Amino acid sequence: MEKIVIRLLLTRVMVAVIITILLFRQKQGKSVTVMAENLNIGEMVLGENNQSDDTKIERYCYNNDTTKCDEFGGLYQWAEMMQLPSRCTKLE
C-alpha cells in the first residue's frame, strides 16, 4: 500500500508542476513539454521485495507484469528514485 501511496503522491506533484509550468509559459506565449512519456527504466523486481541493490536501477511493474511497465511506466521506491542508499527506504 505504501508503494501505491508514494506513486499517487508523485503523480499529483508532477501534475501540479506541469500545470504550473504550462500556465507560466502560456502567459509568456511559449509552450514546453515536461514529460513526453512514462519513466520505464531499470530491472524489474517482484513487488513483495524491496529495491535493495544499489548498484543498478530497479523498478516494480503493476501486478508483476512487464507489459504494464511498457504501458504505464515503472514504479519506484523513493530511495531508488532519488538515488539514495536503499537503507533509506527502511528507515522510520
Domain count, the chain: 2
Q: What is the pLDDT along the chain (92 residues), one digit of tens a residue?
A: 444 444 444 555 555 566 666 556 556 666 666 666 778 889 999 988 888 898 999 999 999 999 999 888 899 988 888 888 888 877 55
Q: What is the pTM of this model?
A: 0.58
Query: Which long-range contacts does 62-69 make (Cβ < 8 Å, 24+ apart)?
Result: 69/40, 69/44
Q: Are residues 12 and 57 located together in one domain of the fold?
A: no
**Domain range spanning residue 27?**
1-35
CA distance 92 to 82: 17
The pLDDT assigned to 6 comes to: 47
Q: Are residues 91 and 51 located together in one domain of the fold?
A: yes
The pLDDT assigned to 91 comes to: 58
Q: Are residues 71 and 30 located together in one domain of the fold?
A: no
7 membership: H or E segment, kind and range: helix 2-27
Q: Are residues 30 and 41 located together in one domain of the fold?
A: no
Q: Are residues 90 and 45 located together in one domain of the fold?
A: yes
